[in-house]
Amino acid sequence: MNYRHIYHAGNFADVLKHVVLTRLIRYMQKKDGGFRVLDTHAGIGLYDLSSEEAQKTGEWLDGIGKLMEAELGPHVSELLEPYLSAIRELNPEGGIRFYPGSPKLARMLFRPQDRLSAMELHPEDYVRLHRLFEGDHHARITELDGWLALGAHLPPKEKRGIVLVDPPFEEEDEYQRLAEGLEKAYRRFPGGTYCLWYPLKKGAPIKEFHETLQALDISKMLCAELAVRSDRGITGLTGSGLVIVNPPFTLKDELHQLLPALKDHLAQDRFASHRAFWLRGENKTVKDD
């Protein structure tokens, strides 16, 4: 309840999460039928990077600020186009003042048949999120603990969906809670595509978290990680990871193109790295770089 994403909006972790989210949405849209995006920890939906809070940390400068100015190869540019075009649309006068949270980004990419369910527990943030989507019949905004949504709001009536779980990691047991939440949700909606975000930092129980996920009765789980700096002497966030359950068959190859480019442009020191690998399923690994 103390976490406010405005301090971190547009940082390198947002970039990785939102790039992958756009790839998942575009894959879903290869079929005519509609689908639903369920965002369990939605935030306020749209962030003003000129605000006092965002300027206080300036984290976006080392995230989307770098990527918008980067020279990208043609294939990487094509993969990033939905994401970067949405940001340009929000900033028609140039520069980057407004940055979309995941619910706003998803909504900007939707077709008429696609739908959004966004959960936010923080009362002030819920009010702002609800106001942002007021009158939008494609979006349902609920003041609710996102962990409860993994039971109460699945499966979606569309029978196709992306479930984005991006908790604030304020509690010590969040990694375990994330695994338990996935297990609960998967039982209700085994055909869904799940995208789970987690932080990389010194001392984080990543190995144990991965082992817990591997023990679940889930056939395909792909993992993507991006570290922008060494964790030596640093207690804060040094990287971020995503676990994608039931990933599109195209995603692994797309990550092979995207992760090296993101590492090159978002690196904060020479120890930056990336990796993509299967936790369950296809035993082929994209090597670290």
Name which of 110, 130, 95 is nearest 37 in CA terms. 110
- Is 120 labeled as ligand-binding? yes
- Is 145 labeled as ligand-binding? yes
CB 259 within 8 A of CB 224: yes
Q: Of the residues 14, 62, 114, 166, which is catalytic?
A: 166
- Is 166 labeled as ligand-binding? yes
Name which of 36, 32, 41 is nearest 24 in CA terms. 36
- Is 146 labeled as ligand-binding? yes
CB 119 within 8 A of CB 145: yes
114 is catalytic: no
Residue where the block lists tokens 């949504």: 149
- Is 125 labeled as ligand-binding? no
- Is 41 labeled as ligand-binding? yes
Exposure b/e, 89-100, CB count within 10 A at least 16 = b: ebeeeeebebbb
CB 265 within 8 A of CB 66: yes
Numbered residues of the known binding site for S-adenosyl-L-methionine: 18, 41, 102, 120, 145-146, 166
Enumerate the active-site residues: 166
